Amino acid sequence: MALHSSAGAPEGPLLAEPGHYDYAPYRGRPRIAWPGGARIAVWVVPNIEHYELDPPINPRRGGWPRPTPDVLAYSWRDYGNRAGFDRMADVMARHGVRGSVSLNVAVCDMFPDIIARCCELGWELFSHGVYNTRYMYGMDEAQQRALIADVRNTIFRASGQRLDGWLSPALSNDETTQHILAEEGILYTLDMLHDDQPMPVRTRSGRPLISIPYSLETNDVPNFVLRNATADEWAELVLAQFEQLRAEGGTVLCLPIHPYIIGAPHRIGALDRVLAHIAAQPDVWLATGREIARHFIDHHLAEFDAWIAAGTPA
Amino acid sequence: MTLDPRYLEYPSRGARLDHGRFAHRRPPPRAAWHGLGLWIVVPVQHFPMDMPRGPVAIPGGMERPYPSYWDYTQRDYGNRVGIYRIMRALDERGLRATAAVSGCIPGRYPALVADIAAREWEVMAAGWDMGQALHSARPEAEERGLILRTRNALAAAFGTAPHGWHSPGHSQSAVTPDLLAEAGFTWCADWINDDLPFAMTTRAGPLMNLPMAWELSDRRCLFEQQQTTAQFCCQIADAAARLRDEDGRVLTLMLTPWVMGQAHRYRAMCGLLDALMELRPALLTGEMLAA
């Protein structure tokens, strides 16, 4: 079965666009002032995941490329939770960079020592579903709400934290997901890649939800697995992204990483160099997702809404 | 639409992995050596021109339309020419490798078997050939037959039965570890989830899993990802330095005859070996790692 299949798509007309935001040109926008006069907010997003050896198959996306058990695919990812995590956490801690964890919450049950270390380091935990092999494609609304409740309860039980952020597992959101996130009181979503700044998300209830930048550009998986980058090439790309966004100001740099990729012994030095550079700059706000969302909602959301309502004047 | 309610049930969720093969806890660094442990593996594998293209796509398998002389002869070059460059580079430095040998190699290339045996390299089994992948679509009895046939052919050629196993393309069926233990193997090198050996449970007792190179193999970096030789060597050096600092861990250096054994990579390979030797690594075999 193909990785991306149209099988299992909803009956009836398909959405031609997400419909959650209006066009907003990158000029004339209200100025975002980050805390402390910083020009850029930087947040590092470790994706701490578990991929099941024998997952049930979702009608819209196939399973592992090989017959079960796909030892190669499974054990490659399992390296992150066995060997890569501590390397990654050590480097982040050395530079005083907190993580905002995109968490498959089954990890709370399977590897409580990993979650304990995240909590010791003051990291935020947000939702990346239960397993990275359980997609949201085709879930009805009650199923999506049940998933959200499971994630919220599991994160609270493991860390005492409130669930504020959402990245659908494997970016597998369905048509109604953003509406439900808003109704469930989620603060921020990462399912959309349409901007370098936080943006309001329009949903059917009108309840507030914002999008903050995630990234598949700086993300280690597309770079190392799909684009075959070396560690040095990745570091150069991330720092170029950082310097450009910093020069533009009022922006967000998101650095999504995966312990099974960045935690490999030939790559961890690149993360060390990237974080050393970023953490040494004076005009950087090293933040978590929750902090970025809160700051934007409290200080800038109303003026962005007003600017968009006024037709985005230059 | 809606999903089957079982899609939101998680029967394996709990304080354990979602299978019973091994514990999720990381093994502690080995006290048997300090600094870097180095395990050199040279695959001596045969890729038949008529090998099946599914259900497991084997890295390095035939990619172009049949009859692909391109794919076949490029890989066969390794067993004719490339491996002799690797032998020379290792001989000159007093190094020995573990050869991961297809069961069909003794029948095809007895001269090569004699040259491997003369160097007293360790031999591990690498399946019958690269067209005979292990996977759960194959009946268990047939898989057992493949494993035994491979073991017996290598035992006859080298005088002793191999204790180690590396499956073609790292592909196992659900019962491969059981069948390997039943056939007398004490270690395999297929699961790539650690850079230390760890114990697996099977229905015939324990089986160790050793860290075979995959992401940092020459086949992956140079052939699949098309990185330059210099980029590959630089990443190996970075990994070696890191693992040395972590103390008691293993770098598995895979030197694939049809990849690293190409003439234009010879000087780089020698330079890489020299750079690794400067780290004064503990030189390991599969048997030492599995102990």
Enter the ipTM: 0.95
CB contact B230 to A (< 8 Å): no
What is the phi/psi pair of residue A48, to 5°? -105, 110
Nearest residue of A to residue B168 by CA position? A72
Reply yes or no on whether the pLDDT at A7 is more than 70: no
Query: Which chain B positions have a beta carbon within 8 Å of A68's beta carbon?
Result: 136, 174
* Closest by Cβ to A140, choosing from B2, B16, B194: B2
CB contact B264 to A (< 8 Å): no
Q: B238, A266: Cβ pair inside 8 Å?
A: yes
Rounded CA separation B22/B19 (Å)? 8
CB contact A204 to B (< 8 Å): no
Mean pLDDT of A142-170: 98
Query: Which chain B positions have a beta carbon within 8 Å of A10's beta carbon?
Result: 1
Contact A81, A259 (CB under 8 A): yes
Find out whether the peptide bond into B65 is cis, omega within 30 degrees of 0. no
Q: Residue B45 CA to chain centroid, in angstroms?
A: 10
CB contact A96 to B (< 8 Å): no
Number of Cβ within a 10 Å radius of residue B2: 11
Residue B222 DSSP class: I
Query: Residue ranges per domain, chain A?
Result: 35-309
Mean pLDDT of A69-77: 97
What pLDDT does residue A4 have?
52
Our CA-based measurement puts residue A224 at a distance from the nearest CA of chain B, in whole angstroms, of 9
Give the pairing of strands A188-189 and A165-166. Answer: parallel
Q: A265, B226: Cβ pair inside 8 Å?
A: no
Tell the residue number behind the tokens 């309610």, with chain if given: B5
Rounded CA separation B128/B101 (Å)? 9
More confident residue, B134 or A3: B134
Mean pLDDT of A272-284: 98
* Closest by Cβ to B243, choosing from A50, A56, A265: A265
Reply yes or no on whether the pLDDT at A11 is more than 80: no
CB contact B99 to A (< 8 Å): no
Our CA-based measurement puts residue B150 at a distance from the nearest CA of chain A, in whole angstroms, of 21
Reply yes or no on whether the pLDDT at A2 is more than 60: no
Architecture of domain A35-309: Alpha-Beta Barrel (3.20)
> SS3 sequence, A178-224?
HHHHHHCCCCEECCCCCCCCCEECCCCCCCCCEECCCCCCCCHHHHH
At A1, the pLDDT band (50, 70, 90 cuts) reads very low
Our CA-based measurement puts residue A198 at a distance from the nearest CA of chain B, in whole angstroms, of 31
- pTM for this predicted structure: 0.96
Both tokens assigned to A7: 């099988």
Rounded CA separation A102/A100 (Å)? 7
Average pLDDT, chain A: 96
Rounded CA separation B234/A139 (Å)? 46
Nearest C-alpha neighbor of B192 from the set A264, A86, A232, A134: A264
Q: A11, B172: Cβ pair inside 8 Å?
A: no
Q: A10, B1: Cβ pair inside 8 Å?
A: yes
* Closest by Cβ to A56, choosing from B6, B24, B171: B6
CB contact B15 to A (< 8 Å): yes
Contact B155, B118 (CB under 8 A): no
SS3 A209: coil
Query: Which chain B positions have a beta carbon within 8 Å of A111's beta carbon?
Result: 24
Rounded CA separation A75/B214 (Å)? 11
What pLDDT does residue A63 have?
87
Q: B2, A139: Cβ pair inside 8 Å?
A: yes
Note the pLDDT tens digit of each residue in A211-270.
Answer: 999 999 999 999 999 999 999 999 999 999 999 999 999 999 999 999 999 999 999 999
Nearest residue of A to residue B222 by CA position? A228
Superfamily of domain B32-290: Glycoside hydrolase/deacetylase (3.20.20.370)
Rounded CA separation A262/A274 (Å)? 12
CB contact B23 to A (< 8 Å): no
Mean pLDDT of A63-77: 94
Instruction: Say how many CB pairs under 8 Å bridge A and B.
Output: 144
Rounded CA separation A134/A129 (Å)? 8
Both tokens assigned to A83: 């060997």
Query: Which chain B positions have a beta carbon within 8 Å of A175's beta carbon?
Result: none
Which residues are within 8 A (CB) of B78 and not within 5 positions of it... i.e. 6 or more apart? B256, B257, B258, B259, B261
* Closest by Cβ to B195, choosing from A8, A130, A265: A265
Nearest residue of B to residue A111 by CA position? B15
Our CA-based measurement puts residue A81 at a distance from the nearest CA of chain B, in whole angstroms, of 8
Q: From first to last of its 291 residues, what are the pLDDT tens digits of chain B? A: 799 999 999 999 999 999 999 988 777 888 889 999 999 999 999 999 999 999 999 999 999 999 999 999 999 999 999 999 999 999 999 999 999 999 999 999 999 999 999 999 999 999 999 999 999 999 999 999 999 999 999 999 999 999 999 999 999 999 999 999 999 999 999 999 999 999 999 999 999 999 999 999 999 999 999 999 999 999 999 999 999 999 999 999 999 999 999 999 999 999 999 999 999 999 999 999 999
Q: How much of chain A is in helix, strand and coil states, percent to nearest 5?
A: 40, 10, 45
Number of Cβ within a 10 Å radius of residue A92: 21
Our CA-based measurement puts residue B16 at a distance from the nearest CA of chain A, in whole angstroms, of 5
What pLDDT does residue A6 have?
58
